[in-house]
Homo-oligomer: A and B are copies of this chain.
Amino acid sequence: MSEQDAPLAEKVIPLTEPPKEGESEKGPSKGALKKAAKEKEKAEKAAVRKAAEDAQKKESEANDISKNDYGELVLFGPTTSSIPTDGTVPWVELEDIPKIFESSSEAEESGGPQVVLTAAVKNARNQGAGLAFLVLQHGYETIQGVVAKSETLSKQMVKFAGSIPSQSIVQMQVVVKKPKDPVKSCSIEHLEVHIKKLFISSKADSQLPMQVEDAERPIPVEGQEEQAEDDGRPKVGLNTRLDNRVIDLTASPNRAIFRIKAGVKRLFSEFLEARDFIDISSPKLLGASSEGGANVFEVKYFESKAYLAQSPQLYKQMCIAAGFQKVFEIGPVFRAENSNTARHLTEFVGLDMEMEFHKDYHEVVSLLEELMLHIFNGLRQQYQKETALLRELYHVEEFKLPEAGKVPRLTFAEGIAMLRADGVEIDDFEDLSTPQEKRLGALVLKKYGSDFYVLDKFPLGIRPFYTMPSEYNPKDPNSGYSNSYDFFMRGQEIMSGAQRIHQTEFLVKRMREHITPVDPESPGLKDYVNAFRKGCREHAGGGIGLERIVMLWLGLTNIRTASLFPRDPGRLTP
């Protein structure tokens, strides 16, 4: 027997069994021999019992009028089974059942329309008295399945139905009917399906490390995971959920997060594509780190080294230099930052854009404001259900948008003034701390009624070397303000952007005189600098963190919940 042919069960038996209790390695003791004799007797009795059970099962099967109407499907190989139907019954999805019922010409008394469908068993229970109920699920919709003993449906089939492990996938032939009373526990309340044939196409383990139902509840506040819920079920903390992420993602609220995330991507790209932006794919593997090795992941690249891109910044500007006019990119961004906060990931999705402008970088700021309003309004209109699901779960307030679409745009200096008027001590050119940002967000919300606002003209000294100064003082070259801006949602930054320097000579000067100087001749930067030597139009852009938008739109408390399989300094699995 080759290793490949060995039955699966054999694989888990260790090659060398450890000695049993009371058994020395030299030979069995008297007590051990006695014990062995007893065990032998026990085994023999069990064998007899099993034979009797098998015989009974066989007889029961022989007497089972439904024996061809339920079971487990084998969906591969020469003995492939599939739910046996006569081919006239239509295959449908669960969510289409109400529509099919309404358009059905079959009168209620004749039994309602018959369909074949596949669904997950959210849960199954034996009601007794020859009756089993299943909650069947597909997508966000659930419907009640009824398996009732009758002249044509055996008690064995009812028993089988009631013991299907939760989350198993079943194929069924059913009759759609109206229940006597609305089924409160299902999303489709006014209909139920009476199951005539029932086959498992993928059986779930009965012992899963966590339950999908647990993942449908709110994530407990850190440190309170151990306290049980009022109904006695345990609270399941974030780490356990992320360790079992596939089960966690099966919960409706979690799937809803990723519908919304996909929605933000689509709204972002459809807005920009309609304005003739080109969707680019810049390289993620770089020959040298552009920011001098800080927070960058190193890759073994054949006999050499590579680095993972921390943003498409330099490359999207190089596309502008090449005459691409307007570009955007949706792609992964990698940050080797050892931050274990609720707001940081080592891999996230960046929504980046860059464009030429005519006279003033505020043309770009206005377009970005419009873009964000397009996203927010799109989410409001198209993802109402998903948004409500999450905000209700976590008791989060609605995201307030400015009236008449006029986004509050403050200068950094005005922001500082508002904070000072509120009692915060802060310097003119100091960067805002996270608490200060949140405080300013609250002040802006109070004054302008908007959870979304723009802070413009940041101090030059706290922005990257490629940022265009607003007024440039060669004698104190890192003083004053710059043509740069941040966008905020609920007092937290979601986007950072600026007009960039487009003239080579000045760019090189700024690289050298920046507070953190960089070398324009370095391998990571020389191609970037050279890009401008062929002439480049005035341009500006920005980079948005996709997970931040999702988190702050919904009011989630941890950014990990907005990443399918999140990555942080301590997590690389699943």
| Residues of chain A whose beta carbon lies under 8 Å from any beta carbon of chain B | 3-6, 8, 11, 75-78, 82, 91, 118, 120-121, 137-139, 165, 167-169, 201-205, 208, 212, 244-247, 249-250, 255, 258-259, 261-262, 265-266, 269, 273, 278-288, 297-302, 304, 306, 308, 315, 318-319, 321-325, 330-332, 334, 336, 338, 346-347, 349, 356, 358-359, 468-469, 471-474, 477, 501-506, 508-509, 512-513, 517, 523, 527-528, 530-538, 546, 563-567, 569, 572-574
Q: Are B201 and A538 in contact (CB under 8 A)?
A: yes
CB distance from A168 to the nearest CB of B (A): 4
CB distance from A522 to the nearest CB of B (A): 12
What B residues does A202 contact at CB under 8 A?
502-503, 532, 535-538
Q: Mind listing 8 A-B residue pairs with CB under 8 Å? A: A11-B512, A167-B535, A203-B503, A246-B531, A249-B322, A249-B323, A297-B299, A318-B565
Q: Are A258 and B324 in contact (CB under 8 A)?
A: yes
Name the contact of A512 in the complex, choosing from B3, B138, B165, B531 (C-beta under 8 A): B3
User: CB-nearest residue of chain B relative to A284?
Assistant: B332
Q: Are A332 and B334 in contact (CB under 8 A)?
A: no
What B residues does A255 contact at CB under 8 A?
322-324
Q: Are A169 and B535 in contact (CB under 8 A)?
A: yes
Name the contact of A523 in the complex, choosing from B167, B324, B505, B573 (C-beta under 8 A): B573
CB distance from A505 to the nearest CB of B (A): 6
Q: Which 8 A-B pairs have the closest CB atoms?
A: A287-B572, A527-B574, A77-B472, A4-B513, A249-B322, A204-B535, A262-B279, A287-B573
Q: Are A572 and B306 in contact (CB under 8 A)?
A: yes
Q: Are A468 and B76 in contact (CB under 8 A)?
A: yes
In whole angstroms, how far apart are the Cα atoms of A563 and B3 in the complex? 44
CB distance from A73 to the nearest CB of B (A): 9
Contacts A6-B512, A138-B325, A202-B502 known; 4 new A-B pairs at CB < 8 A: A78-B472, A208-B533, A246-B531, A266-B269
CB distance from A4 to the nearest CB of B (A): 3
Q: Are B300 and A297 in contact (CB under 8 A)?
A: yes
User: CB-nearest residue of chain B relative to A248?
Assistant: B322
CB distance from A143 to the nearest CB of B (A): 15
Name the contact of A278 in the complex, choosing from B245, B262, B508, B567 (C-beta under 8 A): B262
In whole angstroms, how far apart are the Cα atoms of A572 and B306 in the complex? 7
What B residues does A330 contact at CB under 8 A?
330
Q: Are A282 and B574 in contact (CB under 8 A)?
A: no
Given contacts A255-B324, A322-B250, A332-B281, contact A304 B572 (CB under 8 A): yes
Q: Are A279 and B299 in contact (CB under 8 A)?
A: no
CB distance from A278 to the nearest CB of B (A): 5
What B residues does A246 contact at CB under 8 A?
318, 321-322, 527, 530-531, 534
> For A474, A504, A573, which residue has the most chain B Cβ atoms within 10 angstroms?
A573
In whole angstroms, how far apart are the Cα atoms of A11 and B118 in the complex? 72
Q: Are A120 and B8 in contact (CB under 8 A)?
A: no
Q: Are B323 and A534 in contact (CB under 8 A)?
A: no
User: CB-nearest residue of chain B relative to A117?
Assistant: B358
Name the contact of A505 in the complex, choosing from B8, B266, B473, B501 (C-beta under 8 A): B8
